[in-house]
Amino acid sequence: MEKETLIEELKALIIKSLKLEDVLPSDIDPAAPLFGSGLGLDSIDALELVVALEKTYGIRIPDEDVGKEAFASLSALAGYVIKNKK
């Protein structure tokens, strides 16, 4: 799967699984941080995203260190999914 296509899929997954009703896919900058200053997600969102990614793509984010790398941005997350997808 092309990274650009996956980024669009991940935008939809994030909006749906985290119920971000006021956010449009076009509002999410692939280069911006997902947590804190970027999309403004919190630690509970991170856990819900970990569960949703495992159910959808079969990938595991085993700990916070890996999470920091994978959740650095949407682009980074797409790269992590492509690398680890089963």
Partner 1 sequence: MRPFEHLLHRHPFVMLDRAEVVEEGRHAKGIKLVSADDPAVSQAGIFPSAYVVEAMAQTSGIASGKETGSMLAGLKDIEFRGTVLTGDTLETESIFERNFGGLYFFSCTASVSGKRVAEGGVILYFDETA
| 48 lines the binding site for partner 1 (CB under 8 A) | yes
Q: Minimum Å distance from CB 47 to partner 1?
A: 4
Q: Torsions phi, psi of 31, nearest 5?
A: -95, -10
* Choice from 67, 72, 74, 81 touching partner 1 (CB under 8 A): 67
* Choice from 4, 29, 64, 69 touching partner 1 (CB under 8 A): 64
Q: Which of 66, 71, 82 is nearest to 32 (CA)?
A: 71
Q: How far apart are the first and last CA of the chain?
A: 13
The Cα 74–Cα 32 span in angstroms is 7
- Contact footprint for partner 1 (CB under 8 A): 43-44, 46-48, 50-51, 54, 61, 63-64, 67
